[in-house]
């Protein structure tokens, strides 16, 4: 419990400070509220349907799901807009599989809500400016925020191992596909470019 409180107290401010430096308060608030309310409503709708169809017991409707973690994870997802274009595919290729694996390996609906909030944040990122101008302080805040996000999504030992593994596979796969597309584009351009005529 002490470790969990330490993680929350140290990492929430780092994540929000980074987003504040990049977008200022208005956009940060928009992302946070969208993720927090959006994920809450989607999870509540999913739980209602699961109870109605008999997939979950009625007792789960009395479980508490409070806090700011959905909003914080949405802010992490929205940082996608700030990541330089060169690294953005690998960033997305890491976080989407991590979120899916963490939700699949968990027995807690809150973890599903975190994954939903992450995706909502990534969707909101398409409307944000980026990439950001990165400084040493921002890189440090990003590293701390990424560790926090991973621990929030995958907080059990098996969940960390599984989510981390599929995250690495996802990031490497997306990076490889991106590079292959770039090579194909270069070859296509080279094939269409006429060779210079030889003089003499």
What pLDDT score was predicted for residue 184?
Answer: 85
5: confidence class by pLDDT, cuts 50, 70, 90: very low
Q: What is the reported pTM?
A: 0.83
Q: Is 65 exposed, middle or buried (0-12, 13-18, 19+ CB in 10 A)?
A: middle
Q: Give the whole-angstrom CA distance, residue 157 versus residue 59.
A: 27
- Residues 6 or more apart in contact with residue 45 via CB below 8 angstroms: none
pLDDT at residue 3 greater than cutoff 80: no
Nearest to 74 by CA among 9, 136, 127: 127
User: CA dist 54 to 41, 60, 183, Å?
Assistant: 20, 12, 51
For residue 130, how many C-alpha atoms fall within 13 Å in the half-sphere facing its CB? 20
80: confidence class by pLDDT, cuts 50, 70, 90: very high
**How high is the mean pLDDT of the chain?**
83
Average pLDDT over residues 14-30: 89
What pLDDT score was predicted for residue 154?
Answer: 87
What pLDDT score was predicted for residue 4?
Answer: 44
Where exactly are the structural domains of the chain? 2-192
The more confident residue out of 101 and 8 is 101
Phi-psi region at 67: left, alpha or beta (left = phi > 0; alpha = psi -120 to 50): left
Q: Give the whole-angstrom CA distance, residue 95 versus residue 144.
A: 15
pLDDT at residue 6 greater than cutoff 50: no
């Amino acid at each position: 419990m002490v470790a969990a409180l330490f993680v929350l107290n140290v990492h929430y401010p780092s994540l929000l400070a980074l987003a504040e430096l990049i977008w200022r308060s208005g956009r940060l608030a928009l992302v946070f509220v969208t993720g927090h309310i959006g994920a809450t409503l989607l999870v509540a709708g999913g739980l209602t349907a699961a109870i109605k169809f008999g997939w979950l017991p009625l007792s789960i409707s009395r479980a508490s799901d409070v806090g700011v973690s959905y909003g914080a994870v949405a802010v992490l997802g929205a940082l996608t807009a700030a990541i330089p274009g060169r690294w953005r595919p690998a960033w997305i290729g890491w976080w989407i599989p991590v979120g899916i694996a963490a939700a699949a390996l968990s027995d807690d609906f809150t973890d599903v809500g975190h994954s939903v909030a992450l995706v909502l944040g990534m969707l909101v990122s398409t409307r944000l400016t980026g990439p950001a101008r990165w400084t040493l302080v921002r890189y440090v805040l990003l590293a701390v925020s990424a560790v926090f996000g991973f621990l929030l999504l995958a907080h059990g030992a098996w969940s960390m191992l599984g989510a981390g593994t599929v995250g690495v596979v996802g990031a490497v796969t997306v990076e490889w596909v991106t590079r292959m597309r770039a090579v194909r584009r270069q070859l296509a351009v080279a094939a269409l470019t006429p060779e210079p005529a030889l003089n003499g």
